[in-house]
Structure 1
Amino acid sequence: MFLSLVLIRAAPESSLVTNLPGFNGTFPSKHYSGYITIDETHEKKLFYYFVISERKPSQDPVVLWLNGGPGCSSLDGFMYEHGPFNFEAGKTKGSLPLLHLNPSSWSKVSNIIYLDSPAGVGLSYSKNKDDYNTGDLKTASDTHTFLLKWFQQYPEFLPNPLYLSGQSYAGVYVPTLASEVVKGIKTGLKPILNFKGYMVGNGVTDGEFDGNALVPFAHGMGLISDDLYEEAKSACNGSYWNPVSSTCIAQISNIDKVLNGLYIYDILQPCYHSPEASKSENSTFQLPPSFRQLGETERPLPVRKRMFGRAWPFKVAVRDGIVPSWPQIHGESLPCTNDEFANSWLNNEAVRRAIHAEQESVIGPWEVCSDKLSYKSDAGSMINYHKNLTSQGYRALMFSGDHDMCVPFTGTEAWTRSLGYEITDKWRQWYYDDYQVGGYTQGYAHNLTFLTIKGAGHSVAEYKPKEALTFYSRWLDGKSI
């Protein structure tokens, strides 16, 4: 107990969060938030919210959490997924949401940092707007700089195991960042980070694997018929992500029509929209861009606002040098969910003061996904990143909500299997809460684990919080899931 108290007192008191508007009660652990300046000349600053573990903060891992996009705020994960609070609508219209303690918060078993990255995302910013032209490799470098500087402010956490985590486009953020961290460790860059591994949920990984995942997923889920599946497989020779024949394109168009009207981030959830909108040619219910030649170009593209309340995780195809607008890709009138709670809370002056964030008058409004960035997907496939990291002994968990049609589990299952690692834990159920089946898992050599979460969508902890905390805590503790 004495060690825990020393640990808490060592953190910078100027960053301590003492209260949060909408919450009446006592925090179950200490919270800290604020900015880390990663470039003094540009005044480039990344915002973080740090929740100390409710268990054993001096021993529990430090976990960095990144949401996807690219360009979406990790405070989305803090508010809607596995942060310390659940949010409820205010008592009167226009009032701030009410905060209640989240019994499935990941801070139950870990110290966790929610980071807005890169600059221009969420509450992070730069005085030099050129910094908003960025990409995979620069983002990884900047986030590594953040970690080094963050641990200089919180040196008491340096002995703790460090894990990197995220979802969606963080399937790129996490392995590229992990690679930077490992390089820094090898070259003796100070401070030395105690990096142990990483986890990714429904993560973008590889154009071919991700792009070919949707048709088998849709067939397996009973969304397309056997006949339509066989016709598409024959016409496309099993390669759907880059159709080259008119017959294949026609079959993909047929699949697109059949899937129209589904909420792609969780096919079990309803999506409320007008019949007129669903029939529109510009309907939001189009196959994911991953399904349409993901990775066709490395030209930069503006980051789009999130669709249906979740970050669209793929790069869109650029034709004739023109990046299509968000309405051209997705339409505008079909919100399945919204960010009302997050927008009203994070754009409130008192909240900004409480979390030590700049006011809206200085850096603009908080948006779940930034429209400030011009982002280049320049790291390529993540397959070799995963091979290099796992072959060096770093632990890796790839988890997938099995009802996500945006980054289907079928793609993640395929690429993890493609590494050719020996299977050390054959396909089996995993359990939670008195032997309820939580999903399925398969373990490989080199500490690689593939895991599904039964009934979960794209943002696993949002849909299945109890199951998510179960596998998260077991994996971090090195136990069998």
Structure 2
Amino acid sequence: MRQQPVINLKGYLVGNPITDPKFDENYKIPSAHGFGIISDQIYEAAMKNCKGNYVNPTNQLCAEVLETVDSLISEIADAHVLYKKCVVAIPEPIDDAIRRKFLLEESIEPNEAPGRPTVDCFTYGYYLAYLWMNNKMTRDALRIKEGTVGEWVRCKKEVPYTQDMPSSIPYHRNLTTRGYRALVYSGDHDLQVPQLSTQAWIRSLNFSIVDDWRAWHLDGQAAGFTITYANKLTFATVKGGGHTAPEYQPEECFAMAQRWLDNKPL
């Protein structure tokens, strides 16, 4: 009988991870308040009328205040609350001007070109990635045979899967209690999966604290804050990071990951 390949798994790391809607969604409200997006009065009204349940409002007053909160959050870039709110470079119907540009540059026929952000937007890099990946020279360099692979799109909406796992917390508990090391990190300016929600579900594991909350440093400056729990579980924030922290703070994230992989304290 053929032996199955063995993966010598030692641990895992996850960043700003979607984990459980009870935590991910409910902690957006206190996080929005902490970022100064909603006022004290709105936050107090939400707490009073929603009783901590901001996912499924059970009364009209709760629904109304959550509608106000959603409207205010829509004014900012929730992936990083300090960045400009820009066109997100996701597919949209192609216009004739872009189609002509593609043909002149010997790119494949575009169907789902992303919206074009302004140059000063963080998402402009996503737009350039689309142009580069669909350029004929790039595809030739990658040895993509003509006609075998269609248009490259960064965020493909039609992913065939069914979401049947409402919470991944049991998996975190299973892996960590079996001895696998875990690093969970959060860009501290993310409102899509706020660091408060990540801290909350980690606390729900009821692991004892091994190394209490402290700053971790890079080049003599605080790069974030960290805490280590029993079962080799480490949580860390990345100061100034957004939802995809390595995109915003690559140097800090590289140092954090390198120390963790080397089994050294952050």
Partner of 1:343: 130
Distance 1:241 1:372, change over 3 A: closer
Which residue identity does 1:394 align to in structure 2?
Y
1:9-408 equivalent positions in 2, closer than 5 A: 190-272=4-86, 308-309=88-89, 337-338=123-124, 339-359=126-146, 361-408=147-194
Residue matched to 1:436: 221
Paired residue type of 1:258: L
Q: In structure 2, which of residues 226, 239, 242 is the aligned counterpart of residue 457 of structure 1?
A: 242
Q: CA deviation at 1:333?
A: 7.4
In structure 1, C-alpha distance between the alignment counterparts of 2:76 and 2:115, rounded to whole Å:
15
Please give the secondary structure, in 1, of the residue aligned with 2:186. Answer: strand
Q: Distance between the aligned counterparts of 2:168 and 2:157, measured in 1? A: 25
State the distance in 1 between where 2:64 and 2:3 align.
54
Large movers: runs of 4+ above 4 Å: 332-336
How many residues end up aligned between the 2 structures? 238
Shift of the alpha carbon at 1:244? Answer: 1.6
Please state if 1:415 is matched with 2:201.
Answer: yes
Q: Distance in 1 between matches of 2:89 and 2:15?
A: 17
CA distance in 1, matches of 2:248, 2:66: 29
Q: Which amino acid aligns with 1:416?
A: I
Matches of 2:233 and 2:226, distance apart in 1 = 11
In structure 2, give the amino acid aligned to 1:340: Y
Whole-angstrom CA distance in 1 between matches of 2:51 and 2:115: 36
The unaligned stretches of length 5 or more in structure 1 are: 1-187, 274-307, 312-331
Asked whether the equivalents of residues 27 and 194 of structure 2 are also in contact (C-alpha less than 8 Å), the reply is yes
Residues 208-232 of structure 1: CA deviation (Å, up to 9, x unaligned): 1111110010111122111111110
2:241 is aligned with 1:478: no
One-letter amino acid of the structure 2 residue matched with residue 408 of structure 1 = P
| Residue 94 of structure 2: aligned partner | none
Task: Report the residue type matching 2:223 in the other structure.
Answer: G
Give the equivalent residue in structure 1 for 2:109: none
The answer as to whether partners of 1:218 and 1:224 remain within 8 angstroms in 2 is yes
1:357 Cα shift? 3.7
Change (3 A) 1:272 1:378: closer
1:387-430 CA-to-partner distances (Å, cap 9, x unmatched) read 00111111111111010111111110100111000011111111
- How much has 1:272 moved relative to structure 2? 4.4
Contact 1:272–1:334 at 8 Å: present in 2 too?
no
Q: Higher strand fraction: Structure 1 or Structure 2?
A: 1
CA RMSD of aligned residues (A): 2.2
Distance 1:445 1:475 in 2: 15
Matches of 2:150 and 2:240, distance apart in 1: 37
Quickly say closer, same or farther: Cα 1:247–1:334, change in 2 above 3 A: farther
- Paired residue secondary structure (1:375): coil
Distance 1:340 1:364 in 2: 17
State the AA in 2 paired with 1:270.
K
**Structure 2: 5+ residue stretches without partners:** 92-113
Could you list the per-position Cα deviations for residues 124-158 of structure 1 after superposition, in whole angstroms to 9, with x for gaps in the alignment?
xxxxxxxxxxxxxxxxxxxxxxxxxxxxxxxxxxx
C-alpha spacing 1:261/1:419, structure 2 compared with 1 (3 Å): same
Give the partner amino acid of 2:135: N
Q: Is the 8 A contact 2:90 2:115 kept in 1?
A: no
CA distance in 2, matches of 1:239, 1:378: 22
**Cα pair 2:224 2:239 within 8 Å, conserved:** yes
Task: Quote the sequence identity (%).
Answer: 42
* Partner Cα distance (2:164, 2:143) in 1: 33
Q: Could you say which structure has the greater relative contact order, defined with CA pairs below 8 angstroms and 6 or more residues apart?
A: 2
Q: Distance in 2 between matches of 1:403 and 1:424?
A: 26
Q: Work out the CA distance in 2 between the residues paired with 1:444 and 1:400.
A: 16
State the Cα distance separating 1:309 from its structure 2 match: 4.0
